Amino acid sequence: MKKILKTALISVSAAALSAAVTISVSAALGDADLSGTLTSNDAALAFKYALSDVQSEDMIKTADVDGDGKVTSNDAALILDKVIKGGKFDSSETATQTPTETETQTEKPTENTTAATTEATTQATTEASSETTTADISDGVVVDNFSSLKSEAAKKNNKIYIKGTIMCNERIQLNEKNANTQFIGIDNADGTAAVLDFAPLRDSLTSRGSSGSGFTLSGSGYTFKNVIVQNAGDCGIRITGSDNLFEKCVFRYNNNSGVSVTKGGSNNTFRYVDSYRNADLVPRNGADADGFSVKIGAGDNNKFYNCRAWENSDDGWDSYDRLSDGGRYIGSVYYEECVAWNNGNPNVFTGEDDYANGAPLDKNLLYIQAAIKADPDFEAKYNAHTITSWPKLTLRLLGGSNSYNNIHSTMWAGNPNGFKFGSAETPKSSYRYIKNCIAFGHKNTPNQVPAKGFDRNNGSASYDIVNALSFDNGQNYWMDTMEPKSMQGVFYSFNSGQEDAAGSLELTVPDAAKEAQIRSEVQSKVQYILDNVNAGKIPGEVIFNVFG
């Protein structure tokens, strides 16, 4: 075991916490701040109560959700889990489970389960939790063409069922406040998902910019479920609004970030969302396309539960602060059961990474499309594994161009990082909550050494963390300037290219047997996810069971 520094906890004076407002008998369980709604503020307040030497009866009445007669960090974690996953505690409920045993995770495989059983359990859990949209669609309207989609999207209090693949030649703007409008994909008979494909919009544009996004969402009260958004000329969706929900969705092959939250966008929740192979090769040479971008003035309380970001040209998650652009610092961001791998790797987007790993030809990649156009025999050569020299092409898109040589030079601008928590401007007042998150396989590039799994990027955001796993990155953890509030659980680190600047984190290097077990579990779940998305299906909830 490699120990870096001992765990540190902040202290809160009892006097600062004792001036609580008298709690009424009707206050909801978990609603520590008496706002009438369960929010992350309740979890933060419960955590402060837990650190207090003296806990009043009023504190315990609402914040003691596990019923043990006192407020502990377990109560804070349970409240936050409930906030992230939605819902509230029943008045008669006593939440005696630990956070990893809560409602959405009760079917997690145990550590000694065989790989086959683990996979079957994961699949069963996913199928049981996913919404069946084909059983009854009489409560909404079914759309199967862009004209109908655009018309219905403009309405409030609407439930829109998306059927098949819709080719979209315009950006869809969602501006209504409290819209109460849902976009729900209907699975095809073969289990493949509904698709909104913005390639016609992308290919009609002569320059880059947010007008090329598939969706721009400045409103509130929108829900997206069970749908794939792909091939936009900019972000798959660019969000400046608040209080929107995304569940069981995929954002892929967009020419900027799959999902962008910026300029005040707040209280947006993402559950079981995948964002992969988004890349702005033209004209940015990979500089800006993250899986999930929560940056440049993003607002408060944006939450990600069981989301995955992989093989995007920039970061998996990015929270870059630049006050001159956004006019404000990024607020709190929550990551729970989230996974990032192999972001920022230029070889992914030329197809060389797939070729080296024996993966099928990805004809959704723009570079591969250009290679097939230049050489009609390219696909046959790829499949036979007889390519002797990779085609060195120039891509043209959005009025710009980029070459193979640029992609493979020091000009490559993508950042191979998993979770980027801030930037040099990020203050301690900006907050991150990290629980059961994993980052692996981020490779050094000519302009990024070392590539990082968990990256402070010179920022100093404060954070609470419960369990993390980082391996096969140029550097697994780089969090030494960040401000820890609490650290619980285990922080695995192995096969790092250099010493980890982990700050106060106490890192654990497992023995060979444990490392093999962890790798097997991760590989099994990644393969399950890839098998689904490559078949046009949405994986849904997939728990990586590596923390016990």
DSSP 118-146: HHHHHHHHHHHHS---SS--TTSEEE-SH
Looking at residue 27, its pLDDT comes to: 64
- CB count, 10 Å around CB of 284? 20
Looking at residue 115, its pLDDT comes to: 39
- Does residue 200 form part of some domain? no
Over residues 307-335, the pLDDT tens digits come to 999 999 999 999 999 887 767 889 999 99
- Does residue 69 form part of some domain? yes
CA distance 174 to 177: 9
Percentage, residues of the chain above pLDDT 90: 72
Amino acid at 250: V
* Integer CA distances (angstroms), 100 to 63, 109, 308, 314, 316, in order: 19, 12, 19, 31, 24
End residue of a domain, out of 392, 407, 422: 407
Instruction: Identify the residue with better confidence: 207 or 77.
Output: 207
Over residues 361-381, the pLDDT tens digits come to 999 999 999 999 999 999 999
Amino acid at 357: N
Strands 227-230 and 250-252: parallel
CA distance 141 to 165: 16
CA distance 90 to 542: 27
Q: Please answer whether residues 293 and 394 qualify as being in contact, where contact means their C-beta atoms are separated by less than 8 angstroms.
A: no
pLDDT at 508 over 70: yes
Give one DSSP letter per residue of 468-517, joined into a string: EEEESSSEEEE-TTSEEEEEEEEEEEES-SS--B-TT--EE---HHHHHH
- Does residue 85 form part of some domain? yes
Looking at residue 69, its pLDDT comes to: 83
- Does residue 438 form part of some domain? no
Q: Please answer whether residues 109 and 119 qualify as being in contact, where contact means their C-beta atoms are separated by less than 8 angstroms.
A: no
Looking at residue 130, its pLDDT comes to: 41
Residues 6+ apart with CB under 8 A from 398: 202, 205, 206, 207, 208, 212, 233, 255, 282, 283
pLDDT confidence band for 14 (50 / 70 / 90): very low
pLDDT at 384 over 50: yes
Strands 317-318 and 394-397: unpaired
115-129 and 512-534 are packed helices; what angle lies between their axes, rounded to 10 degrees? 40
Mean pLDDT within 292-306: 96
- Does residue 82 form part of some domain? yes
Looking at residue 68, its pLDDT comes to: 83
Looking at residue 70, its pLDDT comes to: 85
Is the bond leading into 416 cis (omega within 30 degrees of zero)? no
Over residues 419-442, the pLDDT tens digits come to 999 999 999 999 999 999 999 999
Is the bond leading into 376 cis (omega within 30 degrees of zero)? no
- Does residue 175 form part of some domain? no
pLDDT at 12 over 50: no
pLDDT confidence band for 10 (50 / 70 / 90): very low
Residue with tokens 């693949």, as numbered in its chain = 165
End residue of a domain, out of 85, 101, 117: 101
Looking at residue 102, its pLDDT comes to: 35
End residue of a domain, out of 338, 372, 407: 407
- 220 phi, psi to nearest 5 deg: -140, 160
Return the closest-CA partner of residue 479 out of 501, 450, 507: 501
DSSP three-state, residue 41? helix
pLDDT confidence band for 123 (50 / 70 / 90): very low
Mean pLDDT within 188-207: 97
- The CA-CA-CA angle for residues 358, 359, 360, to 5°, reads 120
Domain of 53, CATH number, reads: 1.10.1330.10
Q: Please answer whether residues 261 and 297 qualify as being in contact, where contact means their C-beta atoms are separated by less than 8 angstroms.
A: no
From 48-62, 65-79, 294-308, the region with the lowest mean pLDDT? 48-62
Supply the pTM of this predicted model.
Answer: 0.78
Q: Sign of torsion, CA 346 352 353 359? A: positive
pLDDT confidence band for 53 (50 / 70 / 90): low
Average pLDDT, the chain: 86
Q: Where are the alpha helices (DSSP H) in 185-315?
A: 199-204, 281-284
Distance separating the N- and C-terminal Cα atoms of the chain: 18
User: Which domain does 66 fall in, by range?
Assistant: 14-101
State how many domains the chain has. Answer: 2
* Integer CA distances (angstroms), 371 to 19, 91, 253, in order: 68, 61, 17
Looking at residue 50, its pLDDT comes to: 72
From 220-229, 296-305, 327-336, the region with the lowest mean pLDDT? 327-336
pLDDT at 51 over 90: no
Looking at residue 360, its pLDDT comes to: 96
Q: Please answer whether residues 291 and 313 qualify as being in contact, where contact means their C-beta atoms are separated by less than 8 angstroms.
A: no
Over residues 162-180, the pLDDT tens digits come to 999 999 999 999 999 999 9
pLDDT at 45 over 90: no
DSSP symbol at 279: -
Looking at residue 151, its pLDDT comes to: 98
- 76 phi, psi to nearest 5 deg: -60, -45
Looking at residue 76, its pLDDT comes to: 77
Looking at residue 55, its pLDDT comes to: 72
- Does residue 358 form part of some domain? yes
Over residues 78-115, the pLDDT tens digits come to 887 787 666 677 654 544 444 443 333 333 333 333 33
- Does residue 366 form part of some domain? yes
Return the closest-CA partner of residue 248 out of 282, 279, 277, 271: 271
From 91-100, 248-257, 263-272, 422-431, the region with the lowest mean pLDDT? 91-100
From 75-89, 346-360, 525-539, the region with the lowest mean pLDDT? 75-89
Looking at residue 128, its pLDDT comes to: 36
SS3 content of the chain, % helix, strand, coil (to 5): 25, 25, 50
pLDDT at 15 over 60: no
pLDDT at 24 over 50: no
Instruction: Identify the residue with better confidence: 63 or 21.
Output: 63
